[in-house]
Amino acid sequence: MLNPDSVGSTFAGTELITVSQSEIDAFCAVVGETDTTIAPPTFTIRITLTQFEEILTRPEIGLDWSRLVHGDQKFEIFTPVKAGDQLTCTATIESYRVAAGNEIVSVRSDLRKGAELAVSAWSTLVVRA
Amino acid sequence: MEVGAVLDEKVFYLDRALLKQYADASGDQNPIHQNEEFAVSVGLPNVIAHGMLTMALVGKYVSDFAGGAANVLEYSARFIKPVIVPAGEKVDLTVTATVSEVSDDTVALSLTATSAGVKVLGMAKAVVRK
């Protein structure tokens, strides 16, 4: 179970993430995008979900990642991501509830290039009963 | 571009190879997207596509409309039904959109995505730069 005291808190990821051209190329190839100079709109989920897993499964937060289902997803893109960008990630647990034994967690990630906010993304994650 | 305008339909095709390719590209190696035995063992009808793969393909539709990914400002969707991908088959993801709002600088789209006639995304919307 998620620690309810963590709701409303923001947690910093531990890494500085450098986006590579080969990662963008691989993502573009899946969707058939030929312009690889800019990451496709959902590319940063690759970073966000990895960071969420690292952050939300910390012992003091306690989310069970093994029974997770993705409920919904939203992106706001302020600056498109490109190869060579160095990004930091924070995760804010915005809400948490339990319904029919399922845990429903809303988390926002903010990806920044230096001080500048590049992409905010909202994920609803459901831990199935 | 007027509110209510309906955009051309585009059909994407998904198969197991594309799911593996997306798993590698996204880092999401959850076995429900690759291993039929595992998927069935957790109560799914078969291997299902990553919701985010569906969203990535619809995102390509949005980028194409917007004249490139750089013009996509907002994009959201709810995952309401899985895209089921049996072995050896290619399943469709059929995408259409309606213009829902037009401002001085932006166009909002209401997106529809179905697979085998079933709506797989709910409340799917995008806002792009004009």
CATH number assigned to the domain comprising residue B80: 3.10.129.10
Residue A68 in this model has a pLDDT that exceeds 90: no
Element (H, E) at B22: helix B16-26
A34 has a chain B CB within 8 A of its CB: no
Number of domains in chain B: 1
Q: Which residue of B has its CA nearest to A31?
A: B57
Average pLDDT of span A104-120? 96
Residue B89's domain comprises 10-14+49-129
Contacts of B55 in chain A (CB under 8 A): 42, 73
Quick check: A65 pLDDT over 90? no
* pLDDT score of B121: 98
> Burial level of B62, CB count in 10 A (0-12/13-18/19+)?
buried
For residue range A24-50, what is the model confidence (pLDDT) as tens digits? Answer: 999 999 999 999 999 999 999 999 999
For chain A, how far is it from start to end, CA to CA, in angstroms? 10
Pick the closest to residue B104 from B77, B81, B75, B127 (CA basis). Answer: B127
Task: Confirm whether B87 is domain-assigned.
Answer: yes
pLDDT of residue A66: 83
For residue B95, being part of any structural domain is answered with yes
Up-side HSE of residue B28: CA atoms within 13 Å toward CB? 28
Domain boundaries in chain A? 4-127
- Is the pTM here over 0.90, yes or no? yes
B29 domain-assigned = no
Would an 8 Å CB–CB cutoff place A29 in contact with chain B?
yes
What's the mean per-residue pLDDT of chain A?
94
Mean pLDDT, chain B, rounded, equals 97
Sign of the torsion formed by the C-alpha atoms of B32, B36, B40 and B42:
negative
How large is the ipTM? 0.96
In the Cβ-directed half-sphere of A15, how many Cα atoms lie within 13 Å?
A: 10
Q: What is the pLDDT of residue A81?
A: 97
pLDDT (mean) for A113-125: 96
Contacts of A113 (CB under 8 A, 6+ apart): A79, A85, A86, A87
pLDDT tens per residue, range B39-77: 999 889 999 999 999 999 999 999 999 999 999 999 999
A4-127 CATH choice from 3.10.129.10, 3.10.20.80, 3.40.30.10, 2.115.10.20: 3.10.129.10
Task: Flag whether B26 is in a domain.
Answer: no
In A, minimum Cα distance to B12 occurs at A31
Q: Which residues of B touch A21 (CB under 8 A)?
A: none
- For chain B, say whether A15 makes contact (Cβ under 8 Å): no
Amino acid A76: pLDDT: 98
A76: chain B residues, CB-CB within 8 Å: 73-74
Q: Which of A123, A3, A30, A12 lies closest to A68, judged by CA?
A: A123
Catalogue the E-assigned strands of chain B.
10-14, 72-79, 91-102, 106-115, 118-119, 121-129
